[in-house]
Amino acid sequence: MAHSSRKDAPDLPDFSLLKRIARDQLIYLLEQLPGKKDLFIEADLMSPLDRIANVTTLKEHEVDKLYKVDHKPVYSTSDQLCFLIRPRIQTVKWIADIVNTDKAAGKLRSYKIIFSPQKFYVCEAVLEEQGIYGDVSTDEWAFHLLPLDDDIISLELPEFFRDNFLEGDQRWVTTAGSALHLLHSVYGPFSKVYGIGRCAKMVYESWREQGKEGEKKTAQSEIGTVFLVDRDVDFVTPLCSQVVYEGLVDDIFRIKCGSVEFTPDVTSSEKSVKVMLNSQDKVFGEIRNEHFSNVFGLLSQKARNLQTAYDRRRGMDIKQMKTFVSEELKGLKQEHHLLSLHIGASESMVKRKTKQDFQELLKTEHSLLEGFEIRECISYIEEHINRQVSMIDSLRLLCLLSLTENGLLPKDYRSLKAQYLQSYGTEHLLTFANLRQLGLLVEQQAGETLTVMESKVGKLVNDKTVGKLTDAFSSLAKKSNFRALSKRLVLVPKPMEEYDLRTPRDMAYIFSGAYIPLSCKLIEQVLEREGWTGLEEVTRLLNGNEFVGSAGGGSESGRTTDSRRIILVMFLGGCSYSEISALRFLGKEKGYKFIVVTTAVINGARLLEAMLDNYG
Amino acid sequence: MAFVTASWNPLGEAFYRKIELYEMGWNLREGLRNCQIAAAPYGGPIALLKEPQRSSPSARPQLEIYTSSGSPMASFMWKSGVVKQLGWTISDDLLCVQEDGTVLVYDLFGSFKRHFSMGNELVQSHVLEAKIFHSPYGTGIAVLSGAYRFILATNIEDIKLRRLPEVPGLQGVPSCWTVLSQDRQTKVLLANGSDLYILDNTACTPVSPSGFSSQATNIIQVAGSFSYKYLALFTDSGHVWMGSANLKEKLCEVDTKMRTPPSQMAWCWRPKSQQPSVVIMWEKYLLVVGPCKDTIQYNLDNESVLVPELDSVRIISGTHHELLQEVPAVSEEIFKIASMAPGALLLEAHKEYEKESQKADEYLREIKEQDRLGDAVKQCVEAAGYEHEPETQKMLLRAASFGKCFLSNFRPEQFVCTCRDLRVLNAVRDYTVGIPLTLQQYKQMTVQVLIDRLVYRKLYPLAIEICRYLKIPEYQGVSRVLKHWACCKVQQKEEADEVIARMVSLKLGETAGISYSDIAARAYECGRTELAIKLLEFEPRSGEQVPLLLKMKRSQLALSKAIESGDTDLVYTVVTYLKNEMNRGDFFMTLRNQPIALSLYRQFCKHQEQDTLKDLFNQDDDHQELGNFYVRASYQEGRLDTRMSCLQNAMDEYNKAKNEFNAKATEEEMRLLRFQRRLEEEKGERMVGCSLQDTLHCLLIVGLHKQAEQLYKDFRVPDKRYWWLKLNALAEKEDWEEMEKFSKTKKSPIGYLPFVDVCMKHHNKYEARKYVSKVTPEQKVKAHIAVGDLEGAADAAIERRNEGEISLVLSHCSATTDRTIVDRLNRTRATAGKK
């Protein structure tokens, strides 16, 4: 990054340990089933598994053939089948079908199901219901945390968001609690825990509960502070179009488990190329957090540097040449390869993003954030829907509109919804029902009356009950209060001011200077104040549920100041690459190091796709 | 030390001593006459069943339970059937084997616990004799039925009755029999006259003891050793045969010259000791017999019973309780008169030292010269462990401690352990407790078991004291005792629930390893559900509360506890339980009050039981969700008419929910589907399932303009949308002529810039130009730029004198080719700037 960062930032803990723990456990589980076996792997466990143990490792432990769980009949000749799955009912039912088919055919095999990260009672209930509880052995692979990068750890549980926030199913709370427990026991003890959100609170409690059972660790703490945040505290940020390089790559090419597949138009060859996107990639490391408008400049600078490095070989004698070839050339070549890929990707992005319509999309988003020219925005959205530009993008704009405006006027709501249904199909009635339930897209109506009622009731009863009532009311009509929050926390800088994206002055740069992400701003404020004092009005607007907990792991004196400046931020329900970039920026400014733990890396599209009901 | 050896009697190589343990506290008028008696090994309790004094038919026997010191623990009138045998289990429960084969189990305090039967055939044939025995598998019972068959149960906690094979030629009660536990099998050894048989599961094998000289005589008494390794036989000729339990190895054979049949015979053989011996008792006479010609004889004042122990024999009479054992080798060395063993010398030295005599030094020097001071100390410590009298123990330990002073690097463990063990032993040997254990027995039974026994006797304070003294980890020690205490407490019916709950919580507090749910479970077993619930409140782990609450049928409470715990698995357990227990209506009602459980169950139903989901919504009159349900169902449905009926249902539900918008939307969807079907039938165009927009697009593409027009009107598609649609479709078809016509039908609601854009998208600059002139002034510049006419764009921008537009044009100009335009624009900008 172009601006100077503080030099005293502490080093990050080594998270490869987590991988090793997971791998050892998996190997142990595989060894529990001696002999050759076929392994069936749940589709969305494939990539995470790949990061933990490669095929050779699996083969070393007598895995014969590998299959993807595809919910189709199985043609395996092995007499031992092992299933590595998420605890989902459908998958368990599919396994039950396999077992029952085998039984009917008189085929004798042994079956083992390994649930990751844990098994649920429901799954066992299904096994029992299907009458195969005794035929199948089950186990748990407590693979909670996958380090995607030096500072990103993912639980790889995209369903966390929908299950927890939409369906009200809290089954993953303990999982998140266990993940935190693991981090605490390996890198802790934590000294301070801040959090906001109902789920965050439950996760915190679940972790405390688990902590009680374990032993206290006295070793040097590597992570001092923890911040837990629910996704529904801030929906606006992930719904904005991303303009920082890493986020853009995710929006356009979709980053999956830390790696991306660049299509032929990027690679300018026949094939697609899979690239790991992390700090190991030097080129990517330099541009990932940059605003897109800077990326080209940086890339060409890089290209020039590379050329100079290549050029040095002119005028070398034989000996120098030899060392050059043996030591540097490979690195240069690798860098060259990556550079050309990223340049290709940037070109492809430019093609898509500098088009008129993208500019207008951004303009609309910024207007919405500012609360400016709303009618124009609505007609833009209307046109967007009418022209069927993109099912998800239309929805994204609608949600942004609703969130920033505290709901749509009934007239607008109806007309936009009707048009949306005409464009994208009536089945989206269900989508709208979901969005309404989550508070992402609502009609303005009872909201005002509720506030009035709240304040009236508030005068009558004491504070504590008001809190509870507010809770109850807010769950009835979830209000985003974005405008008020934005004013209070100064999330939207004054318009018309020049914003130099090359040397950003605050986190707003990740949205071209138009908006400071709410989630990150909250974190900044709480860390600065070492608590929630002074933020009472903000937390009230966010429906409360904020808390501070001292993790109680030993005395304060035993901590190094370093560990206190290593801050673990856990997003429950996912976070976007833009938010990660913003936190990295914040860290550099203030001399912190952030570690982002998230249930999954999301963006606007993935967030909304989770709201669709997959019919048919 | 004359007085120590005073009670010693020599037998062969060894000495035997008889120590008085207690003067019995009981007051038995007739001594042990006319009663059945059972004393448990390891200093356990004694049960007496006293026959009624008057032999009237209404008179009932009296059952009394005492400690080993004769303190009464329980006494009650025996009202059940005829008791054939009394005996104790390893967990201090009293077994009463009745004539009809029923076995009644009582606890130490005489409260009835349970009963079981040794087989139905015994109701008819009756039990003739019974024996209670202990083996590694627990406590067992063997009975001899009236049909002269043996029936065996190896473990009364897990009753599996075994009927042993018939003994050939057995026409009456065998002269004697005993149970042996060998090779992980329980067998019966019996003598019928001069014949010996071993009965196991499968066969009855005749055996004969090796080297038995008096083959022809009848065997009238048999005794197995404590460990079942050895066997002693007594014949009517007065001979005793001692040997291994498999009868293959003979230890010795002794002629006692007694022809009368003895009343009891027991082994008295300390493990590791070289000399086997057997104690044989007649009415007034006790004989110790070993592998030598001599015997030791004791006279008995009154009727007694022998209780064989691991390392000794206890003799209980109406007035006294005594211990008969071989004097341990080390005690013999120390106390034997004129012994020169280092231990003896050290003891002497210490005595002199106490007397402040310099002889102490002489003795010490003597030991030191032999370099045996270490041995001396060890001997004294070891010997202390074998003594019952605290005074003697102290004397030996003091001597050891004295000797220790002259040693460096002497390991203190043995000394410390012995002191501790003796302290515990002296405490339990106390008259008030009455558990006369020897050190060896104590080691064998372990502290854990000793604490259990104290707990069975409700001696909680002593048990806790011992746990603390021995520093037993809380979890195994104090916590366990407290838990037993609490379990006992909750059974005290006379006290109120609140009082007990408070007392329990006060005493137990947060003690580690205490499971309140276990205590609550006990309270529930005693029928005190309310108390159980109160106790469960103290249980910090919800996971432990829930199962018991369910068992107590407090399912509502269980559900809220489960939810409180945040453990969804637990919630789900309760939900499944409720589902099976309750009728549907109640079940749904319960869920309704628990949103978290409800959403969990809904999630499950979505995957597993769609119909239940519907019922759930129905129950709640949640028409909105029902509508959604039907919409979802309609999309999972392949056939069109089912799909339609689903949508019809959805519409009805939405109407009930007063959601007009959704009702209308579904209604329109149905209309659209009908329209699409008709179209498919008439024109063969497949578009069922497409959205309205896609349908329109398809129609326009294939040129069915009329139908498109109809849809447009029927569904009141906004003008803008329709124009966009048509425009795009025409451009896609490259039907430029039709487009031009269309543009002229009326004023475009979307303006004309889209026409320009669309044409350019399809690379038709010529057509695009046609529309540039129609574009509104505000969009002129953009339109010109779109068709690549910078000249025109510049003109328009200059005309409008709009700064932003001028910049826009400039950004499209290249400095080399569009020189003139750039200049013009800059000039305008300059003049505009001046104004």
- Average pLDDT (A406-417) is 87
Separation CA B554–CA B535 (nearest Å): 14
Of B568, B666, B692, the CB nearest to A170: B568
A425 and chain B: CB distance < 8 Å anywhere?
yes
Query: Residue B491: what pLDDT?
Result: 76
Task: Give the pLDDT confidence score for residue B280 in this predicted structure.
Answer: 93
Q: Taking all residues of chain A, what is their mean pLDDT, rounded to a whole number?
A: 81
Instruction: Tell me which chain A residues have a C-beta less than 8 angstroms from the C-beta of B628.
Output: 429-430, 433
CA angle B643, B646, B649 (to 5 degrees): 155
CB–CB contact B568 A387 (8 Å): no
Q: What is the pLDDT of residue B177?
A: 92
The number of angstroms, rounded, from the C-alpha of B52 to the middle of its chain's C-alpha atoms is 46
CA-based nearest residue in chain B for residue A209:
B541
- Selection from A486, A495, A492, A496 nearest residue A506 by Cα: A492
Contact A120 B568 (CB under 8 A): yes
Q: pLDDT-derived band of residue A6, with 50, 70 and 90 as boundaries?
A: low
In whole angstroms, what is the distance from residue B237 CA to residue B229 CA? 25
How far B539 CA sits from the closest chain A CA (Å)? Answer: 14
Q: Which of B15, B1, B50 is nearest to B29 (CA)?
A: B50
Measured over the CA atoms of residue A164, residue A170, residue A175 and residue A181, the dihedral's sign is: positive
Q: Does A109 touch chain B (CB under 8 A)?
A: no
Question: How far A56 CA sits from the closest chain B CA (Å)?
Answer: 36
Shortest Cα distance, chain A CAs vs residue B535, angstroms: 21
B566 vs A202: CB contact, 8 Å cut-off?
yes
What's the confidence (pLDDT) of residue B111? 87
The average pLDDT across A544-560 equals 63
**Which residue of chain B comes nearest to A162, CA vs CA?**
B603
Which pLDDT band holds residue A266 (cuts at 50, 70, 90)?
A: confident
Preferred mutation among B607, B647, B726 to probe A, highest tally of A CBs within 10 A: B607
Q: Distance from B740 to chain A by nearest Cα, in Å?
A: 20
The conformation of residue A601, written as its DSSP 8-state character, comes to: B
At A497 the pLDDT is: 64
With a cut of 50, say whether residue A554 has pLDDT above it: no
Q: Is any Cβ of chain B less than 8 angstroms from the Cβ of A122?
A: yes
* Residue B773 or residue A413, greater confidence: A413
User: What pLDDT, on a 0 to 100 scale, did the predictor assign at position A7?
Assistant: 57
Cβ-defined contact of A120 to B572 (cutoff 8 Å): yes
The pair of three-digit structure tokens given for residue A514, joined into one six-digit string: 């138009």
Is B566 within 8 Å of A205 when comparing Cβ atoms? yes
Q: Which residues pair with B254 in a beta bridge?
A: B240
**Contacts B604 to A, Cβ<8 Å:** 89, 122
Q: Is A121 on the interface with B (CB under 8 A)?
A: yes
Measured in residues, chain A has a length of 616
Find which of A122, A130, A383, A384 to mutate to test the B interface (most B CBs within 10 Å of its CB).
Answer: A122
Query: A475 pLDDT exceeds 50?
Result: no
- pLDDT of A17 reads 87
Query: What's phi and psi for A73, nearest 5 deg?
Result: -55, 155
Q: How far apart are CA B326 and CA B312, in angstroms?
A: 7
Question: What confidence score (pLDDT) does residue A219 get?
Answer: 63
Q: Does any CB of chain A come closer than 8 Å to the CB of residue B569?
A: yes
Lowest mean pLDDT among A332-341, A513-522, B146-155: A332-341
Measured between CB atoms, does B715 come within 8 Å of chain A?
A: yes
Q: Which helix (H) or strand (E) holds A108?
A: none
Give the 3-state secondary structure of residue B505. Answer: helix
Q: Quick one: B653 exposed, middle or buried, by C-beta within 10 A (0-12, 13-18, 19+)?
A: buried
Distance CA B289, CA B11 (A): 8
What phi, psi does A139 have (nearest 5°)?
A: -155, 170
- The one-letter code for the residue type at B78 is W
Report DSSP state, residue B181. Answer: E
First-to-last alpha carbon distance for chain A, in angstroms, is 47
- Write down the pLDDT at residue A616: 39
- DSSP-derived pairing of the beta strands B72-77 and B83-88: unpaired
- Among the partner residues B596, B669, B724, nearest to A387 by beta-carbon distance: B724
Distance CA(B613)–CA(B634), nearest Å, equals: 15
Contact in structure between A92 and A123 (CB atoms under 8 Å): yes
- Residue A202 C-alpha, separation from nearest chain B C-alpha, in angstroms: 7
B716: left (phi over 0), alpha (psi -120 to 50) or beta: left
- pLDDT over threshold 60, residue A446: no
User: Which structure tokens are listed for B333?
Assistant: 């060395």
**pLDDT tens digits, one per residue of A280-331:** 887 788 888 888 888 878 888 888 888 887 777 777 778 877 877 777 777 7
**Count of A–B CB contacts within 8 Å?**
106
Q: Chain B, 592-611: which have a CB under 8 Å from a chain A CB?
A: 595-596, 599-600, 602-604, 607-608
Inspect the interface and report whether the beta carbons of B576 and A429 lie closer than 8 Å.
no
Nearest to B608 among A89, A167, A418 (CB): A89
Chain B residues closer than 8 Å to A613 by CB: 632
Residues of B in contact with A418 (CB under 8 A): 661, 665
For the record, the structure tokens of B295 come out as 């015997």
Interface residue B724 vs chain A (CB under 8 A)? yes
Identify the closest residue of chain A to B643 by CA–CA distance. Answer: A616
Query: Quick one: pLDDT at residue B255?
Result: 87
Average pLDDT per 10 consecutive residues for chain B, totaling 835 residues:
74 88 86 87 91 75 91 90 91 91 91 90 90 90 91 90 88 90 88 88 87 78 90 89 88 86 90 86 89 86 89 90 90 86 90 89 86 89 91 91 87 91 92 91 90 89 89 80 79 74 74 73 77 75 74 77 77 81 80 79 78 79 84 80 86 85 85 84 76 84 81 82 83 80 79 80 77 76 75 75 72 72 75 59
How many angstroms separate the CA of residue B690 from the nearest CA in chain A?
7
